Amino acid sequence: MAKCAVCGKGAHFGQKVSHSHRRSNKMWKSNIKSVRVATEGGSKKMYVCTKCLRSGAVERA
């Protein structure tokens, strides 16, 4: 599973609970995109979550 290169956000795990209160495993996936990021040595492809993209934590190339 991909993780954000800026904040480290990844998948979260838990249990979904039905109306009758039966439990089963569930996974919540983060909204992570593969983007080209400007670095000092040129541009590089990284996985970044959309929250970091919107906040301006990453300069896109």
Contacts of 21 (CB under 8 A, 6+ apart): none
> Is the separation of the CB atoms in 3 and 10 below 8 Å?
yes
User: pLDDT by residue (tens digit) across 31-50?
Assistant: 999 999 998 889 999 999 99
User: pLDDT by residue (tens digit) across 12-31?
Assistant: 999 999 999 999 999 999 99
